[in-house]
Structure 1
Amino acid sequence: MAIQNANAVNGNPNHPNSQLKDLDPAKLKVNLAQRLQPLPALSTLKFGETHTDHMLVVSFDPKTGWSDPEIKPYAKVELDPMSSALQYATNCFEGMKAYLSPDSTPLLFRPDMNMSRLASSVHRLSLPPFSTSALLTLIKRLVVVEKQWMPPKSGYSLYIRPTVIGTKSTLGVAASDSALLYVICSPSGPYFPLSRGLGRPDGYIKPINLLAVSSHVRAWPGGTGGHKLGLNYSPGFLPMSHATEKGWDQILWLRGDMVMEVGAMNFFVCLKRDDGDIDFLTPPLDGTILPGVTRASIMDIARAHTSSLSFSSSTSNTTLDGLTSRLHVSENPLTLTTLIQWSREGRLIEAFGVGTAAVLCPIGVIGFEGEESELPSTEAKDSAFTEAGASYPDGNIERPSSLVDSKESKEPEKELIKEGGKIALPVYEKGIGPVASALRERMLDIQEGRVPFAGFTTGEGGQGISWSVECV
């Protein structure tokens, strides 16, 4: 089968690769491992540290195209020291998950979006194109082989990491016309495990504390921030280590005053409106923000919930449990200055990050760089939380007079940012606010096959959301 998919050859049917062999699932070779690893206890799983028994491997040769794909025992990959991936970071990847449904059927959540994003990343690096539908078929075959590695427990999954690397051996600064595509799997539990003990209620999710950083920039206009490339992640390791040394959990990336992402997650905030509804905001996809699958799904769920409260065409699947407020979804540029202002006004009621690995993680404190950028002690932090507002069984929040430092400041927010300080989000009994909790639970219900997509609507007339939860 020749490469003839216009999308797979960067939109050009006359692309030089159009007559080369494309990925062909019909030619898949399966070489099973003779000795299988013992399955790990769920309590020992840490994200990304355990691999399964097999991997999918296929290579691209500029003269012949893609080789016959092979599922084989997990093994190290050999590379020439001059390989493009090692010299010029020509590598990209995807993160996706397979879940077990209640009847033990493996499910992939919106894999078409992952395949589309991977193809976009490959194009951005000028690596050889491929058929996304063929790759998805091959991934499904790998998941079937590794089904025993899928934890049969809610909140657990089989994390799937498709990767494409340039393998051309030359020190010349040019695109790689040869490549290696491989897919590995890792059984995974909750990215941020539920906390137990210390008087916490069951299901308590510990909020993460962020240090807002502008001295290092994750992405910029015209760059590669909107693609899932390895080179986007490693430059963040140094500022992240500086933040953790000061006691922070993650970084809130800034570009100037503009809010970007939370570590490797998309950022959302909830603002309380005077009419009782909630503004649900996230930065727009301007080329600097990764178009997250979880990001898009969370927004779809929020829109469906609001539609279900507005139109008679709704179904029980669209309304979020325990949430009576409408969520007004908007993609708008966010700045640290406006976050501070909303916090001072008592409007900022929730903030969280979302992504494939973590699903959804609540945020407790956002610190600004400056003299006061070190995370306060536990006692001081708890005091700040108490002042910021308490949660009650009905989900109502006691509005604080200010969510920024305990001392009053009449200086402009720009000066406050310069000097350093913090925003303390309201505290909730289970660590996670009602909006984030409802969205997270609905995401897990859908991903794990407990709630079907049928009936999800985005507006009057029952216009459906086009999602795919594919059986393997």
Structure 2
Amino acid sequence: MMWNEDREGYYRLSIFCLEAADLIINPAATFKEKPDPTGLVFGTVFSDNMLFIEWSLASGWEKPHIKPLENLSVHPAISAFHYAVEPRGLTEAKLLHMLWLNEYTLFEGMKAYRGADGKIRLFRPRLNMDRMLRSAMRATLPGFDKEELLECIRKLVEVEKEWVPYSTSASLYIRPTLIGTEPSLGVKKPSKALLYVILSPVGPYFSTGSFNPISLWADPKYVRAWKGGTGDCKLGGNYGSSIYAQREAMELGCQQVLWLYGEDHQITEVGTMNLFLHWQNEDGEEELATPPLDGIILPGVTRQSILDLAHKWGEFKVSERYITMSDLIAALKDRRVKEMFGAGTACVVCPISTILYQGETLHIPTMDNGPKIATRFLKELTDIQYGREDSEWTVEVS
């Protein structure tokens, strides 16, 4: 087979080779004990099996396999460990032992939920496939057929259905991961890659609980992403490089970093979440605002879902707009801020209570009168995820 090295042809041929119909299922013969869903710590327990798909420039995607979860055996010079197609801070030992450090080349985060009716559902998984393909193209890793990969993931969850917690406060976290595996130290597009998916039953992301407010540290000396960078892709380097700032935030008594950008200290994201502000804006309008997708903001699935719900309600202005710290401080002084919250797959919705900024602790009145909007979004989203409300946003597994 001839492989066209141009961008369009390269991805077209790569996509052609991944087919769910070729899936080979050789599941584990022995099974680990399932954990108590009330005591789960995020990303520390893994299911019995994984999805494993290799790719090379010479032959494209190999047949996908579902097989017992195991360590990876790789050459120490693979491109996942070096240069522009690697996450910062990754060591071979971390990858080989499958530690959950968010430092892979690129990855996705999605969940499977067990409803009260016993059915298992995925929540808007095609948005995850869209984002993963965009990330792959940005990292010069191989493209794939999104529907075929989604079907392979659905089959994996079906095989591992007993790992989906019997709980409406827990879920099965799904981590598709794509890394370059060419054994070469050259700075170039890798000619070999590995796509794998691992599963982890999870409870609340934050140790404080599923809906307790968090405190933020905002300091412009660190940035999460920049114009022309990869902030709008789910690449490992975006996360590994944030750990130092996160540690400093915790030393200052805060739980997460509020990432700022530019000379005017634009508010961008909170920790690994998108951010929303419910307030009375400068024109006196009730508004739900979130930073725009300008290249430095990750297009979160929960973010898009909140925007879609808010537009559907039609009860207040919904905006994707820039918000600076000076805008927020002025609104706090004028008592125009109603609620501020983060949103993401891991936490769904997380209220914000304080922001430490330039030596001053800003009180955010999210919880003062009850976080009505944040609570409403959380309820509506989880009702859909756990099947209490029918929605075209879900894909049934079984």
TM-score w.r.t. length of structure 1: 0.76
Matched, 1:179 2:187: no
Partners of 2:288 and 2:317 within 8 A in 1 = yes
**In terms of Rg, which structure is larger?**
1
Matched, 1:364 2:353: yes
Q: Which amino acid aligns with 2:382?
A: L
Question: How far does the alpha carbon of each residue in 1:6-27 deviate from its partner, in whole angstroms, 9 at most, with x for none?
Answer: xxx9983x43862886112111
1:248-259 residue pairs with structure 2 within 5 A? 248-256=254-262, 257-259=265-267
1:345-424 residue pairs with structure 2 within 5 A? 345-369=334-358, 372=359, 421-424=360-363
SS in structure 1 opposite 2:259? Answer: strand
Matched, 1:296 2:298: no
Matched, 1:79 2:79: no
Question: How far does the alpha carbon of each residue in 1:194-249 deviate from its partner, in whole angstroms, 9 at most, with x for none?
Answer: 65xxxxxxxx8321000002101111110000000001111111111011011100
Q: Which runs of 4+ in 1 moved over 3 A?
A: 14-17, 272-277
Question: Distance in 2 between the 1:229 and 1:427 partners?
Answer: 31
Q: Which amino acid aligns with 1:347?
A: R
Partner of 2:385: 447
Question: How far does the alpha carbon of each residue in 1:398-437 deviate from its partner, in whole angstroms, 9 at most, with x for none?
Answer: xxxxxxxxxxxxxxxxxxxxxxx1220125369x511100
Give the C-alpha shift of residue 128 in structure 1: 1.3
Matched, 1:48 2:62: no
List alignment gaps of at least 5 residues for structure 1.
196-203, 307-325, 373-420, 454-466
Q: Which amino acid aligns with 1:44?
A: G
**Aligned residues: CA RMSD:** 2.3
1:10-409 residue pairs with structure 2 within 5 A? 12=8, 14-15=9-10, 18=13, 22-88=17-83, 89-90=85-86, 91-192=105-206, 205-256=211-262, 257-272=265-280, 278-306=286-314, 326-369=315-358, 372=359
Q: Which amino acid aligns with 1:29?
A: I
Question: How far does the alpha carbon of each residue in 1:140-181 deviate from its partner, in whole angstroms, 9 at most, with x for none?
Answer: 000001100111211211110000000011111111121000
Question: Distance in 1 between the 2:218 and 2:352 partners?
Answer: 12
Q: Which amino acid aligns with 1:114?
A: N
Q: Which amino acid aligns with 2:134?
A: S
Give the C-alpha shift of residue 102 in structure 1: 2.5
Q: Which amino acid aligns with 1:37?
A: K
In structure 2, relative to structure 1, the CA distance for the partners of 1:140 and 1:10 (3 Å cut) is farther
Question: Distance in 2 between the 1:331 and 1:3 partners?
Answer: 44
Give the C-alpha shift of residue 449 in structure 1: 1.2
Partners of 1:280 and 1:327 within 8 A in 2 = yes
Question: Distance in 1 between the 2:316 and 2:207 partners?
Answer: 27
Give the C-alpha shift of residue 328 in structure 1: 1.3
Question: How far does the alpha carbon of each residue in 1:290-310 deviate from its partner, in whole angstroms, 9 at most, with x for none?
Answer: 00000000111111112xxxx
Identity %: 41
List alignment gaps of at least 5 residues for structure 2.
87-104
Question: Distance in 2 between the 1:348 and 1:175 partners?
Answer: 47
Question: Distance in 2 between the 1:125 and 1:179 partners?
Answer: 12
Partners of 2:352 and 2:366 within 8 A in 1 = no
SS in structure 1 opposite 2:177? Answer: strand
Question: Distance in 2 between the 1:217 and 1:348 partners?
Answer: 25
SS in structure 1 opposite 2:242? Answer: helix
Question: Distance in 1 between the 2:153 and 2:37 partners?
Answer: 24
Partners of 1:158 and 1:186 within 8 A in 2 = yes
Partners of 1:3 and 1:22 within 8 A in 2 = no
Question: Distance in 1 between the 2:290 and 2:35 partners?
Answer: 37
Q: Which amino acid aligns with 2:170?
A: Y
Partners of 1:3 and 1:19 within 8 A in 2 = no
Partners of 1:20 and 1:63 within 8 A in 2 = no
Greater RCO, 1 or 2 (C-alpha within 8 Å, sep 6+): 2
Question: How far does the alpha carbon of each residue in 1:27-73 deviate from its partner, in whole angstroms, 9 at most, with x for none?
Answer: 11111112100001112201111100000001002111111110000
